[in-house]
Amino acid sequence: MQHRRWFKTILLALTLSLAVSACGASGEPTKGDLTVYVAVPLSGFQANGGQTVLGGVRLAADEFNRSGGLLGYKVVIAPLDDESDSDVAVTLANQVKADIAAGKRVLGLIGHYNSGQTLAAMEIYKDLPIVVMTPTSSEVSLTQKGYTNFFRINANDATQARVDAAFLVNQLGAKKVAILHNDDPYGIGLGQALSDELAKLGATTATQIQVKVEQSEYVTEVQQIKTAAPDAIFYAGYEVETPYLRNAVVQAGINVPFMASDGAFLSATIDESDGTAEGMYLSAFAPQPSAVVDKNWIAAYQAVEYRNPDTYSINGYSAMQVLGEAAKKANSIDAGRVADALRSIDVMTPMGHIAYDSNGDLKAADQRIYIFQVQKVGDELQFVQVPQ
């Protein structure tokens, strides 16, 4: 009788042990850590933009980990602050290279935020066994260099220029546009692309003016704009220039539609414009978070990041989601297999449907640009999505 009780006790203990093991297998990662780097500006003038991307990546990684991990691995997010500086980006890329050589298990890197840093760092990443997924870099040549491990979650500047030009001409009635851009590869390329697209629509470029990244005084440029007498202004640059340019234009009494590119689609454009941002238009690579996610997603984001989602939180989240789904499709964390899986992936994200061409660009049907206008909502100025 005692032997039978002992046997039942052992059987019960074994059953409970197996049950606990099974729960652990489905509820907690068991194979160890799998690193995903997030290379964005986390200090300096674009820190807020980088943080929005990082927050979205963290939420997607948390969702993978709460459902058993990614192929059983715990996704560990490793932030890298590139300070919006290409030399720093190269230093970080070499750090990633050293980590891999030292044996760190790495799936990929989400970054960089700006095209200039991405172009510089890809010269190192291209030879590493990782997948690089940019959440926001849009310079066209990035996907024309033959990289086999590079993808982007956003549209490119050829699409942005085409959509923005059509909006200026067809919806705002512009026939003569003053184009200003910063001296970053992103601003230079987008400014020229917009000029080309305007010409295709029968509009002209009244003047084309280059300014410096982080420039805040525009006395000379305002006079050049007045002389050109445009019926619209377009600025290709960042949120550290846009509000000051907008303010200078308004204070000079130049009352024509003003549109800025995705690089300015951050709250600083409103906050630093000294009350002059109302009415301006911006293009963006993501919809308003509230338009594509529910309150549960927002609450989960707040729990992980301790702040509200902002403009490019959707991009970071979608980039990590797609990278993870590709690993699952490949049933492997090998970079080559994951890259191959990405080229045939078909997945829905908050950014919309995602599918890639052979170069790592989104297929044409999946390249989306959203237009916003700064409007007063209650007592606050906010970005309000404009029907297209």
pLDDT at res. 267 = 86
pLDDT at res. 3 = 42
DSSP string across 297-350: HHHHHHHHHSS---TTHHHHHHHHHHHHHHHHHHTS--HHHHHHHHTT--EEET
In this structure, CATH architecture of domain 33-155+290-356 = 3-Layer(aba) Sandwich (3.40)
Amino acid 162 reads: R
Asked whether the predicted pLDDT for residue 18 surpasses 70, the reply is no
- Contacts of residue 357, defined as CB under 8 A and 6 or more positions apart, other chains included, come to 363
Stretch 96-124: mean pLDDT: 97
Q: What is the pTM of this model?
A: 0.87
Domain definitions of the chain by residue range: 33-155+290-356, 158-284+370-385
Q: Give the rounded percent of residues in the chain with a pLDDT score beyond 70.
A: 93
Residue 168 DSSP symbol: I
Residue with tokens 């449907």: 353
pLDDT at res. 308 = 86
Confidence of residue 307 (pLDDT cuts 50, 70, 90): confident
Residue with tokens 């280059």: 210
User: Nearest-5° angle of CA 364, CA 368, CA 373?
Assistant: 155
pLDDT at res. 287 = 86
Residue with tokens 């927002």: 298
d(CA 198, CA 191): 11
CB-count burial class (<10 Å; 0-12, 13-18, 19+) for 188? middle
pLDDT at res. 271 = 93
What confidence tens digit (pLDDT) does each residue in 250-277 have? 999 999 999 999 999 988 899 999 999 9
pLDDT at res. 283 = 97
Confidence of residue 26 (pLDDT cuts 50, 70, 90): low
Least confident of 36-45, 193-202, 304-313: 304-313
d(CA 322, CA 325): 5
Tokens of 18: 């197996």
Average confidence score pLDDT of the chain: 92
Confidence of residue 25 (pLDDT cuts 50, 70, 90): very low
pLDDT at res. 46 = 87
What confidence tens digit (pLDDT) does each residue in 161-208 have? 999 999 999 999 999 999 999 998 899 999 999 999 999 999 999 999
Residue 46 DSSP symbol: T
d(CA 37, CA 132): 9
The better pLDDT of the pair 325, 289 is held by 325
pLDDT at res. 74 = 97
The better pLDDT of the pair 173, 48 is held by 173
CATH top class, domain 158-284+370-385: alpha beta
Tokens of 193: 């692309």
Asked whether the predicted pLDDT for residue 228 surpasses 60, the reply is yes
Q: How far apart are the first and last CA of the chain?
A: 80
DSSP string across 219-273: HHHHHHHHHH--SEEEEES-TTTHHHHHHHHHHTT--S-EEE-GGG-SHHHHHTT
